[in-house]
């Protein structure tokens, strides 16, 4: 009989019973929008039955539960980009559910690119990088730009003080592969927003 069932499954003649995804938690995934400089966030999940066990899958998240409510507290003080954090929770009905929190991190400086690439042996044409400081950002000014390495040159232009900037970068030549960094520095005392790295490379 097991062989017959397997054959019918392969032929598509036997339907697989549909499983109701995450039945124990009606809302197992949540989006969380952070504010600038926010250091902690609390996320609450509700289950349809009592929670009996829960564990965080990351050291930055602590979990507590009572009855059918689970509370997650996340240390977001070091987050510089969007990230997904997960919790594994079991309920009295025997179900184990993977809960997810999609943390949206606002960008204190909005960059048009995080890397610029030139092809090996191509014409060393300049490329532009745009920077914008959004309203409410803890960054008030872009203060300087530094190059690591000597394969590129750059020209920084302030389009609108405190808001819009442009950096024009050019390779000196493109005859060999290389990787340099352009470091954009700001007036922020918070290390998350004090510097931004743009990778400059010549690649085959």
The Cα 158–Cα 132 span in angstroms is 10
Same fold, 21-104 and 110-203: yes
Whether the CB-CB separation of 134 and 79 falls below 8 Å is answered with no
pLDDT tops 90 at residue 174: yes
Which residue did the predictor score with more confidence, 70 or 22? 70
> What is the pLDDT averaged over residues 64-89?
96
The Cα 148–Cα 154 span in angstroms is 12
> What is the pLDDT averaged over residues 45-72?
96
If pLDDT is split at 50, 70 and 90, which confidence band does 10 have? very low
CATH architecture of residue range(s) 110-203: Sandwich (2.60)
Instruction: Determine phi and psi for 68, rounding to 5 degrees.
Output: -105, 15
Whether the CB-CB separation of 85 and 100 falls below 8 Å is answered with yes
Which residue did the predictor score with more confidence, 14 or 94? 94
- Give the global pTM: 0.73
Question: What are 83's two structure tokens?
Answer: 């990230």
Whether the CB-CB separation of 181 and 98 falls below 8 Å is answered with no
Give residue limits of the domains in the chain: 21-104, 110-203
Q: Of 109, 43, 112, whose CA–CA distance to 80 is shortest?
A: 109
Quick check: helix, strand or coil at residue 10? helix
The Cα 200–Cα 6 span in angstroms is 55
CA distances from 107 to 50, 58, 82, 134 (A): 38, 23, 10, 8
The Cα 191–Cα 37 span in angstroms is 11
State pLDDT tens for residues 113-169: 999 999 999 999 999 999 999 999 999 999 999 999 999 999 999 999 999 999 999
Whether the CB-CB separation of 139 and 108 falls below 8 Å is answered with yes
> What is the pLDDT averaged over residues 18-30?
71
For residue 23, what pLDDT is reported? 64
CATH 2.60.120.10 for the 21-104 domain, yes or no: no
């Amino acid at each position: 009989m097991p062989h017959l069932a397997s054959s019918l499954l392969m032929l598509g003649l036997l339907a697989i019973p549909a499983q109701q995804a995450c039945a124990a938690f009606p809302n197992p995934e949540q989006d969380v929008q952070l504010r600038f400089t926010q250091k902690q966030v609390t996320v609450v999940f509700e289950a349809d039955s009592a929670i009996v066990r829960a564990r965080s899958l990351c050291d930055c998240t602590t979990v507590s539960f009572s009855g059918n409510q689970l509370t997650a507290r996340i240390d977001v003080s070091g987050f510089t980009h969007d990230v997904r954090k997960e919790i594994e929770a079991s309920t009295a009905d025997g179900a184990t559910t993977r809960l997810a929190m999609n943390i949206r991190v606002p960008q204190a400086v909005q960059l048009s690119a995080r890397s610029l690439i030139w092809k090996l042996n191509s014409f060393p044409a300049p490329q532009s990088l745009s920077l914008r400081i959004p309203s409410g950002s803890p960054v008030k000014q872009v203060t300087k730009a530094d190059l690591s390495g000597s394969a590129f040159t750059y020209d920084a232009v302030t389009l609108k003080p405190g808001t819009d900037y442009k950096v024009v970068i050019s390779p000196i030549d493109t005859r060999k592969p290389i990787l340099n960094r352009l470091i954009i520095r700001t007036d922020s005392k918070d290390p998350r927003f004090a510097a931004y790295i743009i990778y400059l490379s010549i690649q085959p």
